[in-house]
Amino acid sequence: MAAENTSVSGVSGRYATALFELARDQKVVDEVNADLGRFEGLLSESADLTRLVRSPVFAAETQSRALSAVLDKAGIAGIAANFLKVLTANRRLFVVADVIRAYRALVAKFKGEATADVTVAEALSDKNLDALKVALKSVTGKDVALNVKIDPSIIGGLVVKLGSRMIDSSLRTKLNSIKHAMKEAG
C-alpha cells in the first residue's frame, strides 16, 4: 500500500494516512485533494478562519458551528468535510495545514509523483507554475506536485525543497550573502 511506504509522522501523519486510505478505498482521492485545497485557500485568505483554526480559546461547539458554515458556503462536502469535522470534534483542527501537506505527499506517492515545497514572495501565474513543474520533472524524471506557500519575507525569487535537496534563489538570501561579504571585507 502506498500509505505504508511514505514517511508521514506525528498526529498530522496519522490523520492524513487515515484520510488517504479512506479516500483511496472509495476512489475519491482527487476529489478530497481538491476539497482540501479549497479549504487551504480559504485559510490563506481569511485571518479570522486562521484564528478559529489555530486558537484553543474557541469552544469546540463554537469551532464546529463556524466550520460547518464555512464548509457549506465553500461547497466542501463528503469525505473532506466529514474529516474536517472529525478534526474539530477531536480538538485537532490546529494541525489541518500539516495534515493537508501530508495528505498531498501520500497522493503524490500513490500517483508516482515527487512533491516539491515551493516558497515564493507572491503568487505565481499558471504559466510559471507549469514551467517550474517541467524544470523539476527534468531533474527528477517524475511528474512533480507543487505545494506552493506564499511568504513575502523572501522578497523575491523562490525556495524549492524537493526531497532532501533545497534550492534557495530568494532575494532575501542573496542580500544576506552580500551583507555578510561586506561585513567580512570591512
Task: Give the residue among 150, 154, 152 at the shortest CA–CA distance from 129.
Answer: 150
Domain with 157, as residue range(s), is 113-185
Clarify whether residues 11 and 69 are in a common domain.
yes
CB 162 within 8 A of CB 140: yes
Buried b (16+ CB within 10 A) or exposed e, 164-185: eeeeeebebeeeeeeeeeeeee
User: Could you identify the residue written with the cell 532575501?
Assistant: 172
Clarify whether residues 97 and 168 are in a common domain.
no
Residue 156, helix vs strand vs coil: coil
Q: Which three cell numbers stand for residue 52?
A: 478559529
Clarify whether residues 88 and 134 are in a common domain.
no
Number of H helices, E strands in the chain: 9, 4
CATH code (residue 24): 1.10.520.20
Clarify whether residues 81 and 135 are in a common domain.
no
Clarify whether residues 125 and 40 are in a common domain.
no
Residue 113, helix vs strand vs coil: coil
Clarify whether residues 156 and 96 are in a common domain.
no
Clarify whether residues 117 and 101 are in a common domain.
no
Clarify whether residues 9 and 84 are in a common domain.
yes
Q: Is the pLDDT of residue 7 over 90?
A: no
Clarify whether residues 12 and 102 are in a common domain.
yes
Q: Is the pLDDT of residue 3 over 60?
A: no
Out of 73, 106, 139, pick the residue that ends a domain: 106
How much is the mean pLDDT over the chain? 91
Using a pLDDT cut of 90, give the percent of the chain over it. 81
Out of 56, 88, 106, pick the residue that ends a domain: 106
- Kindly list the distances between the CA atom of residue 95 and the CA atoms of 14, 88, 116, in Å, as whole numbers in the listed order: 11, 10, 20
Out of 106, 137, 166, pick the residue that ends a domain: 106
The model's pLDDT over 122-157, given as tens digits with 9 standing for 90+, comes to 989 999 999 999 999 999 999 998 988 889 999 999
> Cα(44)–Cα(50) distance, rounded to whole angstroms?
7
The total number of structural domains in the chain stands at: 2
The model's pLDDT over 26-44, given as tens digits with 9 standing for 90+, comes to 999 999 999 999 999 899 8
User: Could you identify the residue written with the cell 493537508?
Assistant: 100
Clarify whether residues 67 and 6 are in a common domain.
yes
Clarify whether residues 29 and 74 are in a common domain.
yes
Residue 158, helix vs strand vs coil: strand
Residue 9: per-residue pLDDT: 76
Clarify whether residues 29 and 99 are in a common domain.
yes
